[in-house]
Structure 1
């Protein structure tokens, strides 16, 4: 095999995986392997639009002062994900500040960041954040183009099926099918343009390449469907001297129950594991099985501290497609929270590849000149025999 072609293929695959990771993170609002900043609060470390490698907290290790983290803010910028540096630690949580900001986030209205609200750490080598310049600008443009395409298709066909994450799945697989069909059609048109004395063009398009690319897309989308709806949920409450009917006000030293809803977010059943990530919080039940298209309620009991003031409590939800028995999922989760996702991805990926090979086969599509070419419609019929 030509070494240059092999290296080019590897670089292309890596670039596609990074691009898909960035697009998923941008569209779904979660750090998905590669993320980026939109403001200049981290300048000069990260300029607006710069990307960085977001390492999930499950594998990133303990957070220490000097780390750049992605956390779920309560009040900062109206809430949502924020990328700032840890500059201190207290009993209530971490103190954070943007490198370009003169004061810490906690000098404002943001409470200390408890570990449960930390989504990821920025990869650092030698104490320096690994920066991908300008990636955010590319992602924003691509994400906007995908969103515009989804809106166009939804309005054209009069259905919302093209919108959201599920709509992205349809677009991805539709793109893969169309690409393969066009490649097949190119065989005939390219061969006709060849010189009549040329018996064969050595180039070929392998079904393995198409199947592998679509399997990667499937795994990324399935992983996103489990990771994105999960994550940390924060409850902000006031420890008050008097009781109140307001659910966000708890009398000091007492407890109050809050309902947390776990939806399936689609037609497939899911298994959810909900764990407290801050002190003074209990969850019942900690494990739920949610049928497709339905929701299940979980009771979160919050204990108010003896001192009055504003506090935060947090829980973390882990979500898995119920493609394995619940007991197996829970056993794998007990070993590591990401292990059920890996096993489910492997099972789906292998199953998809086996099915695709059975339908398509593994013979390459050779772009050569044939006196009696086989029509594409005949090939498609043969795939399904």
Structure 2
């Protein structure tokens, strides 16, 4: 029974770890990574809504064949606003495009208003053993629930608070037992991994709400002009051009901190550092002031952060690096749980005893 419990716990830990990796990877790349949640029944009976599918991310050299179940995002047609779609390739090729169809659908996607699927729109395909995709039933329902309320900034802090309360309740419940028994390492790991789970949840949420914009422009001494692929174009020294940047929106109960940074001194955002109250919505812009001749390809990073630190300090970190600000703010709510095992005397002694025991076993196993 003890062995079964350990195996079950290990499998649960692996499932949680893979889910977190997939969530963070998807937030960073804006594409499905490692795992993908199924949002419809269009591929029934291969899988159903709420299932989690193991995927293989594709590169340019990878070949797509008829029968492959691919994950794509269209830029036109009636599927353009549906996010990532998982359908089977029925025909086509990389140069002309692919014909796709859900196994449960009567017609191909192209027969109901979607054009041929370009190769560059396809990010992954289902990982299979033989011809059978690897599906984890129902594991994605929690992700779908979170997505349903992702506009509510109150939800994920509430989840983090619930995790902390559950761990604290478990600690109180088992405190009497632990007074009579030797303290092992399991409870300490629960605290540490519980804290890290909160960190990942917070980081993934803020990362998903952030935006990164590339601004291409040129400053010339001769005059203005149009530049291919640029909204700003070619500016003459002294010119100023303003363009829309992003929409900042707080749909939850907690205030959010909006931070807009860029390394280009010729670009000035309309709102560098702002506190968004509940329900507040704000359209932001940026202004390019032509000062130094040259060709520029600059980045503007827009971030929305939970107010775990003062707004001025979050902006200070964002100016150094958006990723620095993201990591620091993400760690604030999870840090108490992570460091608690080292503060509590009994837990700290248990960790040190466990480390010493492992070192002795390692030394005895070495041939020298």
Q: How many residues align?
A: 276
**Aligned mates of 1:228, 1:53 — CA distance in 2:** 25
For structure 1, the residue ranges without an aligned partner over 5 or more in a row are: 151-162, 192-198, 233-253, 273-284, 300-316, 330-339, 367-385
Q: CA deviation at 1:80?
A: 0.8
Residue in 2 that maps onto 1:267: 257
Matched, 1:185 2:172: yes
**Aligned mates of 2:345, 2:9 — CA distance in 1:** 17
User: Does the Cα contact within 8 Å between 1:42 and 1:100 map onto a contact in 2?
Assistant: yes
**Aligned mates of 2:99, 2:212 — CA distance in 1:** 21
The alignment partner of 1:212 has SS state of helix
Residue in 1 that maps onto 2:12: 12
Distance 1:255 1:267, change over 3 A: closer
Matched, 1:176 2:156: no
User: Does the Cα contact within 8 Å between 2:43 and 2:104 map onto a contact in 1?
Assistant: yes
Matched, 1:109 2:110: no
User: Does the Cα contact within 8 Å between 2:195 and 2:335 map onto a contact in 1?
Assistant: no
**Aligned mates of 1:270, 1:39 — CA distance in 2:** 36
The alignment partner of 1:76 has SS state of coil
Equivalent runs, 1:207-356 vs 2, <5 Å = 207-227=188-208, 261-263=245-247, 266-269=256-259, 291-292=273-274, 293=276, 295-297=283-285
1:90-121 deviation per Cα after TM superposition (whole angstroms, max 9, x unaligned): 65644322234454322331123345644543
User: Does the Cα contact within 8 Å between 2:260 and 2:301 map onto a contact in 1?
Assistant: no
Residue in 2 that maps onto 1:76: 78
Structure 2 counterpart of 1:98, from 92, 95, 102? 102
User: Does the Cα contact within 8 Å between 1:60 and 1:121 map onto a contact in 2?
Assistant: no
Residue in 2 that maps onto 1:129: 133
**Aligned mates of 1:7, 1:188 — CA distance in 2:** 25
**Aligned mates of 1:164, 1:263 — CA distance in 2:** 13
Instruction: Report the TM-score when normalising by structure 1.
Output: 0.51
Residue in 2 that maps onto 1:64: 64
Equivalent runs, 1:36-55 vs 2, <5 Å = 36-55=37-56
**Aligned mates of 2:259, 2:64 — CA distance in 1:** 38
Residue in 1 that maps onto 2:180: 200
Residue in 2 that maps onto 1:371: none
The alignment partner of 2:158 has SS state of helix
The alignment partner of 1:35 has SS state of strand
Distance 1:173 1:39, change over 3 A: closer
The alignment partner of 1:65 has SS state of coil
**Aligned mates of 2:284, 2:63 — CA distance in 1:** 33
Residue in 1 that maps onto 2:88: 85
